[in-house]
Structure 1
Amino acid sequence: MGVSGVGKTTLGSMLAKELSVPFYDADSFHPASNIEKMQNGIALNDEDREEWLARMSSLIPEWQNSGGGVLACSALKEKYRKQLAGNTKNDLEWIFLYEDFSIIADRINKRKLHFFDPSLLRSQYDILEPPDYGIHIKVENSPEESLKEIIEKLRMPGIGIIGLGVMGKSLALNLASKGYSVAAYNRQESEEEKDLVKNFTAKNSGEFDFHVFEDLQDFVLNLKPPKKILLMIKAGPPVDEMLKKLIHFIGPGDLVMDGGNSHFKDTERRYERLAQSGIHYLGVGISGGEEGALNGPSIMPGGSIDGYNLIKDIFKDMAAKDRKGDSCCTYIGAGSSGHYVKMLHNGIEYGEMQLIAEFYYFLRFFQNWLPEEISALFKEWNKKEKSFLLEITADILIKKEANDYLLDKVLDIAGQKGTGGWTTLAALEVGVSLDTITASVFARNISAFKELKNQAGSLYKMPLCKDFEISSEELYKAYKAASIINHSIGFELLRKASVEYAWNLDLSEIARIWTNGCIIRSAFMEDLSEIYTSAETRHLLLYQEIAEEMNKYQDSFIRNVPRIISRGCPMQVSSAALNYFLSFTRDKTSANLIQAQRDYFGAHTYERTDKPRGEYFHTNWKQE
């Protein structure tokens, strides 16, 4: 692409021959009326170009399906390029040829037997909008030298990944398996890291188009412009340290993405700082674990919309697909929204994991069920739920080491990396009650007090009361109700944060990209995607569809969670969900007494039920 006379036909035909594909000249697709105008020195307007661009846009997919081709077309404006690319696959390459006006004008004047009037060249330069993507070639050398430069740049990796840990390595393999040329860099400050790069290269470089670099500058310089770099490194200071190094080798129009679990406030700071230098930045939530990263994760990019447009085709190829075949990747919003949504995803994940663990614990130690029986029950539940977490739990329960259940040998201390706690703090900042997720975080916290718990166990003799029966169906209803509430609490935080930070989050799309690839995928996510398509979102428990579901489960939920706890079985998330539900569904609560207490000792005032909202009163509560 480029202005007339820049060498599109010459280099295009040479490139087509080099690649063994057909060459197409856009000039041959002009209607006769356009050719007549240009011969008479009349510049084409957008209306003139409409039919011409539409015709080529319809043909490009056919050319792609036939093995590809090279098209020489001016495509001077961004909207022209968008129209051309409208019907194409994701693998369209743009090559922008450019040179100074005086040099091209001299070429045009020497050109013979062409319908283009040389006087029109200035009008092309006037409307030219150089793309901030693709390969840029200044045609100051011979056609042969320019062709060599084009070929070299075409063969450069289209994306670079920094960090070859579990997730980075799997994402690199994911992309390479889909035909992408991938550059990779991993710091080599220890022998372990040196072996990691060496082993990865030896195992995969022959099968896929990998370019592994030991020097950061070489890694960056060998990326196809605009450079697209995905950081898959530990969150926190390591990200800032890497950005300080990268800033010396990248520039305006390049894209840096953080695919780790960074705190959203760190992402916001980095996004704003790099934007000042014209560098696009995305905070990218990626969920799915090692298997998801390899086969297709759920991807939640937030930040620069222009940056997202540079990478969206790659991300959509890399991501899992929903039941309709659409990619489980969508642009979340500006700033740090992508990492915020991923943080909340992890919060829901915390709640769901703890919830399943509670029902396992009750069945195993208070009902004397064998692991195989619990596994079978969870598999039965999962015929309805299609929950990834229920699925893997059923597998875990029956895994044996020799003749023993491996789970019985796993120390009961649950680790965490902080995203659950961040979610709780984020909820406090926008005034959302995050009962279930907070309870799940605290459950992990208390699990770490192993020595203290051992001491407490010798001081307090808690009977294991097993004197009641409960059906599997009743248990399922209690589990399902708590799970619905856990999801409703999580999505309420997203709804409030969307307003607080002006992100305009699409809750339906977020639920949709969580239907596959991610850790919390389930059939319920598909329901949520449908429910949230309404024009105005509200608290999930206020939707009629959810109320009808909860009405099926609430009696069992309200009756049986307290019964289980009364037998000495801890149910942190289940009880938190129950308390939330009972508080949320009562039009009167005990909060009036709390407000009166606040007014008593601190003169904080209160509103009255017999007066309009917004009027405040103070009382001397002491009896005179």
Structure 2
Amino acid sequence: MNKAIFIMGVSGCGKSTIGQLVSQRLKIPFFDGDDFHPQSNVAKMSSGVPLDDEDRYGWLVTLNKLAKKELQKSSCVIVCSALKQTYRDILSSDIKNQVKWFHLVGSFEQILERVNNRSNHFMPTDLLQSQFNTLEQPEDAFEVNIGLKPEEIVEIITEELKMKSEFGLFGLGVMGKSLSRNLAQKGFNISIFNREVKGTEENIAINFKNSHKELQTAQAFSDIEAFVNSLQTPRRIMLMVNAGKITDMVIEDLIPFLSDGDVLIDGGNSNYLDTKTRYDYLKEKNIHFIGVGVSGGEEGALKGPSIMPGGNKEIYNLVKPYLEKIAAKDANNAPCCTYVGEEGSGHFVKMVHNGIEYVEMQLLAEVYTIFKMIGYTPDRIADIFESWKLKANSYLLEITIDILRKKDGDDWLVNKIVDKAGNKGTGNWATIATAQLGAPSTLIATALFARFTSFYKEERIQASKNFNKEVLELKLNNDDVLNAYQFARIINHYQGIKLISEAGKAYKWQLNLSEIARIWTNGCIIRSNFMVQLISVLKEDDNILAHKKIINQVKSLKPSIKKVVANCILNELAVPCLSDSVNFFNAYFTANSSANIIQAQRDYFGAHTYQRTDDATGKFYHTNW
């Protein structure tokens, strides 16, 4: 990837000389920032008056435009004093990931001697002290001592440019491998790391590098110190390791080799509360931490995942170019990656994404069960699902079609798979979070408990012998089932988005729900036509069930969900998520519920008090029952 190499420092430090030598060595264009000052600036400095920020602004913008123009063609060297951080921010605006800073450092006495020996320059020597006074030490620049010989300085700079990778990826599991290939394909110079176990797992990183052409320029490591030292500063290291204690162990292993301002990016399925704890812990050590949700599985990670980053927004900007470049693209070619919010919000949103995913998977499994009871073969069910694409297409629908059509010998493979569904924890966390926040995301819990129930295989086999199933007749057609499925999906998305909304309020995260829906339209597991619809819906109202279009959809679908669930119950067919969707909805649109009885009971045995319908003040009462 092309680089804008900025060589900075106070006047007289030798920027121009070194810059020209570096450009000659690298065979790339050279530009002296002083040549781009407007005449008014030159006149002001010639008269012995220091430039102020207003004088410099237009000049800095001009140099930024120059860098952008040159980067379209090749790398370039630009020398510029760039004494303040605000100046450097302007110079690197919109190209931060393509800028490399080198700071030429020397004492006042060293540089004063050089300035006094310099001829044909418009800046008087008495302005040198003002430059030292103005200088703000850069945190992200590579420092070089001007006491060295010019050829030694050039050698150091070129070696730094040649040897250092701009992004590191720690952990080469399934997702780590795919993401590293994705980064390399996008033109980033990366370092990759994986541990070795002598005698069993050796040369993992180097073998992986050698097996993929796009990783030819990547640096592969099994030594942590060498891996960290291979990266440009501030270092950007993405962790793709198992959530929990392993993540903490990896962080502790990295800390001794990190420097102030380095950035760790946790791309695993970490608990959002753990992310907050790690953020605070590393902040005390002057190391930045970004929690990033990544969805899309192995293929998505390689071709473009949906990415949900959370943390400090200013620090996110240091990694934004990399994450946005590797992300999937939406219908308007915008990256399916957006800054979600503060602290652990990125991992929270990914957790809820997985909760919605649990429900979507369970609903398709229940629909499959209905059609199977009717007597349809997997091929016939796949054909029905194929016909649903026009009205209810999604990634999960598409892969379920493929699954149902897969044969193994003379039978369908799905018939040979043991009906015990596992989980990796995010559904559990989402269920806990919805209880802690008091949000009624019942379907996520129901889908999770359906998986738990499936795991009691032996007990279920025995129970099927103890209790005779009474099967009548499923009086359902394909449209009934499709409409019920669509109804339940609307409720699922309402509940998931409501959970995110309630978390935003509770933790004071500034969340954009429409933008979250947008980055879920491609690259992730729950991408669907309905998610595309929700982008505009959520721009108008955080509550999708209050939107006129959704209200009309629910009204038209409601008869089908009642019919399907009733038939399934009468035929003793388990459809927990379909059932829960209509049960929740019945409670949701009941203006006066039975909760008054519960509140009376609470007051009876625990004196918990209650409010009265005939007192609008909201006063609480207690009765001696």
TM-score past 0.5 threshold: yes
> Which whole-Å deviations, capped at 9, do the CAs of 1:468-507 have from their partners, x for residues lacking one?
132x222221111111110110111111111111111111
- Residue in 1 that maps onto 2:3: none
Q: Does 1:98 align with 2:121?
A: no
**Aligned AA for 2:579?**
S
Change (3 A) 1:316 1:458: same
Task: Tell me the equivalent position of 2:528.
Answer: 522
Match of 2:253 among 213, 221, 245: 245
Question: Cα RMSD over matched residues?
Answer: 1.8
User: Which of 480, 492, 497 does residue 486 from structure 2 map onto?
Assistant: 480
| 1:215 is the counterpart of 2:219 | no
Contact 1:343 1:423 in 2 (8 A): yes
Alignment check: 8 A CA contact 1:607 1:613 kept: no
Instruction: Provide the residue aligned with 1:297 in structure 2.
Output: 305
Q: Which amino acid in structure 2 is aligned with residue 477 of structure 1? A: N
2:110 is paired with a residue of what secondary structure?
helix
- Paired residue for 1:567, among 554, 571, 576? 571
CA contact (8 A) 1:174 1:295 kept: yes
Per the alignment, residue 609 of structure 1 pairs with 613
| Counterpart code for 2:331 | R
Question: Post-superposition shift, 1:413?
Answer: 0.6
Residue 322 (structure 1) aligned with residue 323 (structure 2): no
Relative to structure 1, the CA distance from residue 538 to residue 328 in structure 2 (aligned partners, 3 Å threshold; closer, same or farther) is closer
Q: Which aligned pairs between 1:530-541 and structure 2 lie closer than 5 A?
A: 530-534=536-540, 537-541=541-545
- State yes or no: 1:461 paired with 2:449: no
Partner of residue 12, structure 2:
5
Q: Does 2:180 align with 1:181? A: no
Aligned 8 A contact 1:39 1:117 in 2: yes
Deviations 1:77-124 (A, max 9, x none): 233233333354852333333333332222222211111222222222
Mapped to 2, the partners of 1:360 and 1:251 lie a distance apart of 54
The yes-or-no answer on 1:555 pairing with 2:563 is no
Matched, 1:498 2:514: no
* Equivalent residue letter for 1:238: I
Partners of 2:565 and 2:103 in 1: CA distance: 66
Change (3 A) 1:513 1:95: farther
CA distance in structure 2 between the partners assigned to 1:501 and 1:357 by the alignment:
35
CA distance change for structure 1 residues 206 and 290 in 2, over 3 Å: closer, same or farther? closer
Shift of the 100–503 alpha-carbon distance from structure 1 to 2, 3 Å rule, reads farther
Question: 2:4: which partner in 1?
Answer: none
AA partner of residue 226 (structure 2): D
What is the Cα deviation at residue 552 of structure 1?
Answer: 2.5
1:109/1:383 CA distance change after superposition, 3 Å? farther
Q: Which residue among 368, 372, 392 is the counterpart of 2:375?
A: 368
Where has structure 1 moved over 6 Å in runs of 4 or more?
A: none
Q: Residue type matched to 2:599 in 1?
A: Q
Identify which range, 517-526 or 72-81, moves more after superposition: 72-81
Cα deviation code 1:331-371 (max 9, x no counterpart): 2222111111111111111111111111111112x111121
In the TM superposition, residue 195 of structure 1 has moved relative to its aligned partner by: 5.6
Is 1:48 the counterpart of 2:55 in the alignment? Answer: yes
Give the structure 1 partner of residue 5 of structure 2: none
The 1:475–1:131 alpha-carbon spacing in structure 2 relative to 1, beyond 3 Å, is farther
> Matched residues in 2 for 1:467 and 1:281: separation?
54
Unaligned runs of 5+ in 1: none
Letter of the 2:440 partner, please give it.
S
Native 8 Å contact 1:58 1:87 kept in 2? no
Is 544-553 or 395-404 further displaced after alignment? 544-553
1:377 and 1:100 map into 2 onto residues whose CA distance is 78
Aligned residue in 1 for 2:438: 431
2:240 equivalent among 229, 232, 239: 232
How far the C-alpha of 1:377 sits from its partner, in A, is 2.1
- List gaps (5 residues or longer) in structure 2: 1-7
- Structure-1 separation of matches of 2:489 and 2:90: 45
Could you tell me whether the CA contact under 8 Å between 2:446 and 2:577 is conserved in 1?
Answer: yes
Q: Percent identity?
A: 43
Contact in 2 for aligned 1:133/1:310 (Cα 8 Å): no
Q: Describe the superposition over 1:485-533 as per-residue Cα deviations: whole angstroms up to 9, x where unpaired.
A: 1011011111111111111111122111111111111122222222222
| Cross-structure match for 2:117 | 110
1:197 counterpart residue number = 205
Match of 1:442 in 2: 449
Kindly indicate whether the alpha-carbon contact (under 8 Å) linking 1:348 and 1:487 is maintained by their aligned counterparts in 2.
yes
CA distance, structure 2, for counterparts of residue 36 and residue 369 of structure 1: 87
Give the drift of 1:39: 0.8
Distance 1:486 1:351 in 2: 7
- Give the aligned partner of residue 136 of structure 2: 129
